[in-house]
């Protein structure tokens, strides 16, 4: 995912993406402010269906940040027996693990997480 770094405070990065603004923990060398990076998004929270992962009526993929929480809306593309799941946001994916593996793929969901990290990738 393309992420533009607007502000960095210690390892907390305030960033813009095509899907919205986000506040995350930056992993790796300090980024240059104002630069755009290809980055992977990682959700470290324990995700529980019905608590911080839920069905969504959103009609497009979004990322928002409010009250120390990141909300991500996207398409549930896949889920394995162990709960390892893929959230699709356009051409990008975000892997995560959820406690329930009976979710229906192909539906829009919303994830609310407090611990979200990004790290730059160099292709």
Residue 28's pLDDT band, with cuts at 50, 70 and 90, is very high
Block residue for tokens 């609310």: 112
Each residue's pLDDT tens digit, 62-121: 999 999 999 999 999 999 989 999 999 999 999 999 998 778 899 999 999 999 999 999
d(Cα 47, Cα 72) in Å, to the nearest integer?
Answer: 13
- Note the pLDDT of residue 100: 80
d(Cα 73, Cα 63) in Å, to the nearest integer?
Answer: 6
- Note the pLDDT of residue 116: 94
Residue 4 makes CB contacts below 8 A (sequence gap 6+) with 15, 16, 17, 34, 35, 36, 37
Does pLDDT of 27 surpass 90? Answer: yes
Question: Is this prediction's pTM over 0.75?
Answer: yes
| Neighbour-count burial of 80, counting CB atoms closer than 10 A to its CB (0-12 exposed, 13-18 middle, 19+ buried) | exposed
């Amino acid at each position: 995912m393309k992420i533009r770094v607007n502000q960095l405070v210690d390892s907390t990065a305030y960033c813009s993406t095509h899907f919205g603004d986000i506040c995350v923990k930056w992993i790796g060398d300090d980024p240059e402010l104002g630069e755009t990076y290809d980055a992977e998004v990682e959700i470290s929270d324990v995700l529980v269906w019905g608590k911080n992962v839920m069905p969504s009526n959103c009609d497009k993929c979004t990322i928002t940040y409010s009250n120390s929480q990141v909300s991500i809306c996207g398409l549930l593309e896949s889920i394995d027996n162990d709960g390892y799941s893929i959230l699709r946001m356009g051409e990008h994916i975000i892997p995560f693990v959820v406690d329930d593996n009976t979710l229906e793929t192909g539906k829009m969901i919303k994830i609310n997480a407090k611990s979200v990290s990004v790290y730059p990738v160099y292709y």
